[in-house]
Chain A
Amino acid sequence: MKFLPIFLLLLPIGLSAQQVDEAFRKQLQNQLILAEPGDTIDIPAGTFLLGSSLSLDEKKDVVIRGAGMDQSILSFRKQQDGAEGLRITNSSNITVMDLTVQDAAGDCIKAMNTDGISFVRVRTEWTGKPDKNNGSYGLYPVSCQRVLIDGCEAIGASDAGIYVGQSHLVVVKNSKAYHNVAGIEIENTTMADVFDCEAYDNTGGILVFDLPDLPKAKGGNVRVFRNHVHNNNYRNFAPKGNIVGTVPPGTGVLILATDGVEVFDNRIHNNITVGAGVISYYMTETPIQDKDYDPYPNAIYLHDNDFARKATRPTLKNKIGLLLLTKFGKNVPDILYDGIPDPASLDANGEFLADQTICIRNNGSATFANLDAANDFQGLSQDLTPHDCTRSALNPTELGMGNP
Chain B
Amino acid sequence: MKPSLLKYFVVLLLAGFLLGMSRPASQSDQQPLPRLSAYGFFEGPLAAQRPAKGVVPYDLRSPLFTDYASKLRFVVVPEGKQVRYHGQEVLDFPAGTTIIKTFFYPHDARKPEKGRRLLETRLLIREESGWKALSYHWNEEQTDAVLELAGASTEVRWTDESGKKWKFQYLMPNVNQCKGCHSWDGAMRPIGPSARQLNGSLQQGGPTQLRQWADAGFLHGLPEDHAAIPTIAKWDQPETGSLDARARAWLDINCGHCHNPHGPASTSGLFLDIHQTDPAVIGVNKPPVAAGRGSGNLDYDIVPGHPDKSILYYRVNSADPGIMMPEVGRVLIHEEAVDLIRAWIQEMEG
How many positions in chain B have a CB within 8 Å of any CB in the partner chain?
47
**Which residues of the other chain, A, contact B180 by a CB distance below 8 angstroms?**
55, 87
Asked whether A283 is an interface residue with its Cβ less than 8 Å from the other chain, the reply is no
**Which residues of the other chain, B, contact A165 by a CB distance below 8 angstroms?**
267, 290
Residue of B1, B290, B322 contacting most chain A CB atoms (<10 Å): B290
For the complex, give the distance between the alpha carbons of A27 and B174 in Å: 12
B295 adjacent to A242 (CB under 8 Å):
yes
A90-B186, A241-B288 known; A33 vs B174 contact (CB < 8 Å): yes
Smallest CB separation, B2 vs chain A (Å): 10
**Which residues of the other chain, A, contact B285 by a CB distance below 8 angstroms?**
287, 289
Contact of A211 among B186, B289, B291, B294 (CB under 8 A): B289
B287 adjacent to A82 (CB under 8 Å):
no
A29 adjacent to B290 (CB under 8 Å):
no
**Which residues of the other chain, A, contact B280 by a CB distance below 8 angstroms?**
213, 289-290
- Nearest chain-B residue to A214 (Cβ)? B269
Smallest CB separation, B276 vs chain A (Å): 13
A105 adjacent to B267 (CB under 8 Å):
no
**Which residues of the other chain, A, contact B175 by a CB distance below 8 angstroms?**
33
B176 adjacent to A213 (CB under 8 Å):
no
For the complex, give the distance between the alpha carbons of A83 and B264 in Å: 13
Contact of B288 among A53, A83, A158, A242 (CB under 8 A): A242
Asked whether A12 is an interface residue with its Cβ less than 8 Å from the other chain, the reply is no
Asked whether A68 is an interface residue with its Cβ less than 8 Å from the other chain, the reply is no
B171 adjacent to A80 (CB under 8 Å):
yes
- Binary interface profile of A, 53-73, with partner B (CB < 8 Å = 1, else 0)? 101111000000000000000
Asked whether B151 is an interface residue with its Cβ less than 8 Å from the other chain, the reply is yes
Asked whether B246 is an interface residue with its Cβ less than 8 Å from the other chain, the reply is no
**Which residues of the other chain, A, contact B288 by a CB distance below 8 angstroms?**
241-242
A53-B177, A83-B322 known; A242 vs B150 contact (CB < 8 Å): no
How many A-B residue contacts, CB cutoff 8 Å? Answer: 155
Asked whether A118 is an interface residue with its Cβ less than 8 Å from the other chain, the reply is no
Smallest CB separation, B146 vs chain A (Å): 13
Contact of A106 among B151, B153, B171, B292 (CB under 8 A): B292
Contact of A213 among B187, B269, B296 (CB under 8 A): B269
Contact of B299 among A30, A83, A143, A240 (CB under 8 A): A240
**Which residues of the other chain, B, contact A32 by a CB distance below 8 angstroms?**
176
**Which residues of the other chain, B, contact A163 by a CB distance below 8 angstroms?**
290
B291 adjacent to A241 (CB under 8 Å):
yes
Q: Which of B249-299 contact A (CB under 8 A)?
A: 261, 264, 266-267, 269, 280, 285-299
B298 adjacent to A83 (CB under 8 Å):
no
Contact of B290 among A31, A58, A136, A216 (CB under 8 A): A136
- Nearest chain-A residue to B324 (Cβ)? A83
Smallest CB separation, B241 vs chain A (Å): 28
Asked whether B198 is an interface residue with its Cβ less than 8 Å from the other chain, the reply is no
Contact of A57 among B179, B321, B327 (CB under 8 A): B179
How many positions in chain A have a CB within 8 Å of any CB in the partner chain?
59
B264 adjacent to A289 (CB under 8 Å):
no
- Nearest chain-B residue to A216 (Cβ)? B267
Asked whether A294 is an interface residue with its Cβ less than 8 Å from the other chain, the reply is no
A137 adjacent to B290 (CB under 8 Å):
yes
- Nearest chain-B residue to A57 (Cβ)? B176
**Which residues of the other chain, B, contact A240 by a CB distance below 8 angstroms?**
295, 297-299
Asked whether A102 is an interface residue with its Cβ less than 8 Å from the other chain, the reply is no
Contact of A82 among B264, B266, B311, B321 (CB under 8 A): B321
A215 adjacent to B297 (CB under 8 Å):
no
Q: Which of B216-258 contact A (CB under 8 A)?
A: none
Contact of A133 among B179, B287, B291, B293 (CB under 8 A): B293
For the complex, give the distance between the alpha carbons of A289 and B169 in Å: 42
A30 adjacent to B149 (CB under 8 Å):
yes
A213 adjacent to B321 (CB under 8 Å):
no
**Which residues of the other chain, A, contact B187 by a CB distance below 8 angstroms?**
90
**Which residues of the other chain, B, contact A105 by a CB distance below 8 angstroms?**
320-322
B267 adjacent to A158 (CB under 8 Å):
no
Q: Which of A362-393 contact B (CB under 8 A)?
A: none
Asked whether B203 is an interface residue with its Cβ less than 8 Å from the other chain, the reply is no
B149 adjacent to A135 (CB under 8 Å):
no
**Which residues of the other chain, A, contact B179 by a CB distance below 8 angstroms?**
57-58, 89-90
A241 adjacent to B311 (CB under 8 Å):
yes
Smallest CB separation, B273 vs chain A (Å): 15
Residue of B151, B169, B176, B311 contacting most chain A CB atoms (<10 Å): B176
Smallest CB separation, B133 vs chain A (Å): 10
Asked whether A34 is an interface residue with its Cβ less than 8 Å from the other chain, the reply is yes
For the complex, give the distance between the alpha carbons of A211 and B169 in Å: 39
Asked whether A258 is an interface residue with its Cβ less than 8 Å from the other chain, the reply is no
B286 adjacent to A112 (CB under 8 Å):
no
Asked whether A317 is an interface residue with its Cβ less than 8 Å from the other chain, the reply is no
- Nearest chain-A residue to B325 (Cβ)? A83
Asked whether B4 is an interface residue with its Cβ less than 8 Å from the other chain, the reply is yes
A52-B151, A213-B289, A242-B292 known; A34 vs B177 contact (CB < 8 Å): no
Contact of A34 among B1, B183, B186 (CB under 8 A): B1
11 contacts between A and B (CB under 8 A): A82-B321, A165-B267, A213-B269, A214-B267, A214-B269, A216-B267, A239-B296, A241-B298, A242-B295, A243-B287, A286-B287
